[in-house]
Chains A and B, each alone.
Chain A
Amino acid sequence: MKKALALLLALIMVLSLGAVAWADGVTLNVVTSYGGDDGNRGNFEAAVKAYEASTGNKVNDGSATSNEEWKAKVLTDFETGSEPDVLFFFTNADAEPFISAGKVVSIEEIRAEYPDYATNMRDSMLAVASDGKQYAVPSYGYWENMFVNKTVLADCGIEVPGPDYTWDQFLADCETIKANGYTPIACSLVEVPHYWFEFLVMNNGTVANHLDIPAAADDAAGAKWVAALEDFKALYEAGYFPANTLTASDAETVEMFNQGEAAFLIDGSWKVGYFTENAADLNDFAISYVPAKGERKASEAIGGISMGYFITRKAWDDPAKREAAVEFVSQLTSDDVLSTFVTTEVTALINGAKPAGLNPLQQSAADANANITAIAGAVQDTITGEAKADLFGNIQNVVTGKMSATDAVAAAIALN
């Protein structure tokens, strides 16, 4: 009996090995930021299914939600030789470690063999790495702006802010909102202070010098960053963030906003998809403008194209995977597929995207974007991951008075 069982198990093992060997197509390991709660997760899954159906290849999807930990994991995978075949990742300084290590293939090299690769994109909008080459085929751009809960504002007798919204008006509104029992700002200072940081820095400078990196905490750019952190502290001390902002996750504070407990949320274009799927009534929300002070106008925002598809050297050097990887990127960045991902975001497509009918929140975003007068990239994308982790990790220390804003900026600069 035991012998028969052993033989049966051995037979099953051999047959399963054979099945793998005889399977058609190849299995492509793909990592993207279209994780579970990404608004475009459904569109990504549909595009992957279409690719699998048309090629007979399989996609081993290792997607996750984008955050600092995910970025660190992707970089670690490259450093330990466990990188995927195709990666959808940031095209800024975050990608430099694996680009400089020669672990991804340039578009120029791919085009030498596949001349049609990414020819539907404007070359001028492809990100250029520090070596002067282009590596990533961009998907679509992003914008960051202020989401408002119209129901909360109406309950507090406050109008939806326009493109002339000032910081003083904002502070007065926050006081009214707080007095009415709502939380003015939905933000987890311990997990995602990123978006507020960008706008607070811009509020203490201009859109033109927004991307200046401090060399010291007391130079012009450093002074902007210090002032931004002090603005964080002022808002925290005024009680405008959630009572548990130092222990809450980003998901908790976003849900708080979604449930009509908070009035303002700064987030990105990707969050429109989240509300489309999770909001009870999209008419409760609108895209407004981040209040401005100093030389900045509220109509000036953060945006750009920051992510794209990379083909790794490992996949390129594997004859079985080379074509599969090229075909995957080509399909995922085709005009038709990208049009399903895009609603109000900019793309690098020569023919432009053609999104279908917009829902109320998407329409609100489109209306707000129509009033945007200037745009700058996110300054945090130009500093190293170590500096960024240190800076954002210290915001909780600054707002609670355990560390001065100057020391926090100096510590981050030292790691950049």
Chain B
Amino acid sequence: MNSMIYKNKKPLLVFLVPAFAFLIVFLYYPFFQNVVNTFMRIGGLGRAAQGLNTPWYENYRRLFTDPYMHTALQNTLLLTLCTIVFQVGIALILALLVDTIRVGAQFFRTVYFFPIVISATALGLMFNLIFLYKGGMVNQLLLSLGRLPYEVKPSGKVLVQWLDWKDQAHFLFTMFMPVMWQYVGFYFVILVTGLNNISPDLFEAAALDGADGWKRTRYITLPLLRNVLCTCLVLAITGALKVFDLPWVMFGAGMPENRGWLTGTYMYDQTFNRMNVDYGSTIAVLIVVLGVVLSNVANRVFRPSDDL
């Protein structure tokens, strides 16, 4: 029966062609049109182009000279790095810890995965309250611990010097931390599933040979988890390049003082708020190129081993 299916390829086409046509119409054609738009002058989404830019490569020239674009790129690459270290790193530690416990593993899986099911907008609003300048949760905690300076004015009014978690000194932490927190659970679940696929016989044999917990992790768990870990890293890198919603809700247009741009938020602002569609398209092209290059690099660096 199986051999008949493989001999006759026509039924496969019936299933493949619609999906392929869908991608052509809704992905490749818009992308091609987007590339064309980068050379045009377009003053609003949906408006007709008003001819070619002068010079036609103006948007690409601007891309390399725009200081806000440089900021956006720096922040995005830093976010990508933090994603690898903290998102996947913390997920790995949590997965290893949960894997060692016998009671409550399911509970922790649910708890760590839960942030994924909450919308980024809701999370952004929640973290806005947590990091709120006056009366935010973190600042209240610092105040109660006596870590915030205050001054008593002649009128008797107490003037607390609240910590601005969105200022230039703190915005990267305030922006990145919720993003890290949100997706740790996603990689945690993938890694826990990977851990479950490792045969317990190996651990029992290692235990009989006298290997302690660290050695079992170092010489059995991590090598056998390598392929899953590689997949997580590639997903994390490509995902970091597309981060938009949570930073946008918390920081809007480049807060603070145009230091907080990410490639995603800058593209959105140029396209939808400033109606600079052609430049927004150029940033989109850069994001795609960056995504393809970085995911290729990640695939090569973290290439899954065929031996495992």
Chain A residue contacts of B164, Cβ below 8 A: 243-244, 247
Query: A76-B46, A248-B133 are known contacts. Are A389 and B273 too (CB-CB below 8 A)?
Result: yes
B interface list, Cβ under 8 A from A: 43-47, 128, 132-134, 151, 153-155, 157-159, 161-162, 164, 166-167, 171, 252-253, 255-258, 272-276
Q: Which 7 A-B pairs have the closest CB atoms?
A: A79-B46, A181-B153, A247-B166, A181-B157, A181-B159, A244-B133, A76-B45
The listed residue (A180, A248, A256, A389) touching B274 by CB distance below 8 A is: A389
| Shortest beta-carbon distance from B148 to chain A in Å | 13
The listed residue (A73, A80, A244) touching B46 by CB distance below 8 A is: A80
Chain B CB within 8 A of A128 CB = no
Interface residues of B, dominant DSSP: loop
Residue of A72, A179, A256 with most partner-chain B CB within 10 A: A72
A interface list, Cβ under 8 A from B: 68-69, 72-73, 75-76, 78-81, 97, 155-156, 179-182, 190-191, 243-244, 246-249, 252, 256, 261, 385-386, 389-390, 393, 396-397, 400, 402
16 further A-B pairs in the complex, CB-CB below 8 A; given A181-B153, A190-B252, A243-B161? A69-B273, A76-B46, A78-B46, A79-B44, A79-B46, A155-B155, A180-B153, A180-B155, A190-B256, A243-B162, A244-B133, A246-B256, A247-B255, A385-B275, A389-B273, A393-B253
Determine if A400 and B257 form an interchain contact, defined as CB atoms under 8 angstroms apart: yes
CB-nearest residue of chain A to B67: A402
Chain B residue contacts of A180, Cβ below 8 A: 153-155, 157
Q: Offer 5 A-B interface pairs, CB within 8 angstroms, sorted by A.
A: A97-B44, A180-B157, A244-B166, A386-B43, A397-B257
Determine if B155 and A181 form an interchain contact, defined as CB atoms under 8 angstroms apart: yes
CB-nearest residue of chain A to B151: A181
Chain B residue contacts of A386, Cβ below 8 A: 43, 274-276
Determine if A247 and B272 form an interchain contact, defined as CB atoms under 8 angstroms apart: no
CA of A190 to CA of B254, assembled, Å: 10
Chain B residue contacts of A191, Cβ below 8 A: 252
Chain A residue contacts of B134, Cβ below 8 A: 252, 256, 261
CA of A386 to CA of B45, assembled, Å: 13
| Shortest beta-carbon distance from B129 to chain A in Å | 11
| Shortest beta-carbon distance from B301 to chain A in Å | 37
CB-nearest residue of chain A to B163: A244
| Shortest beta-carbon distance from A399 to chain B in Å | 10
Chain B residue contacts of A179, Cβ below 8 A: 153-154
CA of A348 to CA of B44, assembled, Å: 33
